[in-house]
C-alpha cells in the first residue's frame, strides 16, 4: 500500500524557526511550498530536495498575498498543513510611530490575511491543520514592546475564535498555537541581551512535535510555561508597576 505524501505550506521560511521547521519536515518526507518576501533565501531549501520543494515570493502585507498563497498551493498540488512563521517585533520604549504601525500591519493585518485564506481553503476541502508561531508576549501587555505584545494577543485570540468556528461548522480543521519565549534569531538581534534565550533548532523540534501530536497550544519551553502561568495571575493594578 502506497504511503500518502503530506504537503505543507510554510510562510516565513527564509530564516529562523520557519527555515528550521522546513528542514525537519523535509527530513520527515513532506513536500513543501515555502514562501517569504525574499525568494533568494529560500533556494537553500530548494536545493535540499528539488523535487519536493516549491518556492514563492509572498509579502504578507501585500494585497495580493492571498492570491499568491493559492497559486503556491496549486503548484504544490494541495495542502495538508499551513505553518505560519512570519512576523516582526522590536522594542519601542519611545513609541516611534513607524515601528508601531509596521508591526500592526505585519503581525495583525498580514497574519489575519494569510491565516484567513488558509482557513477558507481548508473549509472548502473539509479538513486541514493550521499552525502558527505567536508568542508568550501575548500573555500580558509589555511596556517595552506595545504593538508587538498587542498583536501577539490578537493572534492568540484569532486562532481561538477560528477553532471555535470550525467546530461549530463541523469542519475538521486542527489548530496549533505555538508560543515560544525568546529565540536566538535575527528578530532579536541587537544590543539588548534577552534572558533565557532558546536555540532555534531546539525550538523547531518542539514545534514539529507539537504539530505531529496535534497540540492546541504549545508554550516553548517549560521555563516560559511557568513564567506565563505566573504572569496571568498578576492583577492589573500590580502589573502596571512592573519595570521590564
pLDDT digits (tens, 9 = 90+) for 60-105: 999 999 999 999 999 999 999 999 999 998 889 999 999 999 999 9
All cell numbers assigned to 80? 495538508
Q: What is the DSSP string of 196-241?
A: S-B-HHHHHHHHHHHHHTT-SEEEESHHHHHHHHHHHTS-HHHHTT
Q: What is the pLDDT of residue 71?
A: 98
- State the CATH architecture for 7-239: 3-Layer(aba) Sandwich (3.40)
Task: Return the DSSP state at 4.
Answer: P
Q: What is the pLDDT of residue 222?
A: 83
Q: Which ranges of the chain have pLDDT less than 50?
A: 1, 191-192
Please tell me the pTM assigned to this model.
Answer: 0.92
Q: What is the pLDDT of residue 186?
A: 53
Q: What is the pLDDT of residue 129?
A: 98
Q: What is the pLDDT of residue 242?
A: 87
Domain ranges of the chain: 7-239
Amino acid at each position: 500500500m502506497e504511503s500518502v505524501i503530506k504537503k505543507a505550506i510554510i510562510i516565513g521560511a527564509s530564516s529562523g524557526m520557519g527555515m528550521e521547521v522546513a528542514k525537519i519536515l523535509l527530513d520527515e518526507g513532506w513536500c513543501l511550498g515555502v514562501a517569504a518576501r525574499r525568494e533568494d533565501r529560500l533556494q537553500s531549501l530548494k536545493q535540499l530536495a528539488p523535487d519536493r520543494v516549491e518556492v514563492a515570493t509572498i509579502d504578507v502585507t501585500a494585497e495580493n498575498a492571498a492570491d499568491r498563497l493559492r497559486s503556491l498551493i496549486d503548484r504544490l498540488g494541495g495542502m495538508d498543513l499551513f505553518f505560519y512563521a512570519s512576523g516582526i517585533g522590536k522594542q519601542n520604549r519611545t513609541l516611534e510611530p513607524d515601528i508601531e504601525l509596521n508591526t500592526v500591519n505585519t503581525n495583525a493585518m498580514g497574519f489575519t490575511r494569510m491565516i484567513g485564506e488558509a482557513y477558507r481553503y481548508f473549509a472548502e476541502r473539509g479538513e486541514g491543520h493550521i499552525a502558527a508561531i505567536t508568542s508568550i508576549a501575548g500573555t500580558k501587555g509589555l511596556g517595552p514592546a506595545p504593538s508587538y505584545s498587542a498583536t501577539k494577543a490578537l493572534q492568540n485570540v484569532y486562532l481561538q475564535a477560528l477553532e471555535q468556528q470550525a467546530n461549530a461548522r463541523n469542519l475538521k480543521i486542527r489548530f496549533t498555537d505555538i508560543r515560544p519565549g525568546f529565540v536566538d534569531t535575527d528578530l532579536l538581534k541587537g544590543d539588548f541581551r534577552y534572558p533565557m534565550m532558546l536555540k532555534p533548532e531546539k525550538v523547531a523540534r518542539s514545534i514539529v512535535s507539537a504539530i505531529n501530536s496535534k497540540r492546541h497550544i504549545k508554550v516553548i519551553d517549560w521555563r516560559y510555561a511557568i513564567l506565563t502561568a505566573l504572569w496571568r495571575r498578576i492583577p492589573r493594578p500590580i502589573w502596571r508597576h512592573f519595570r521590564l
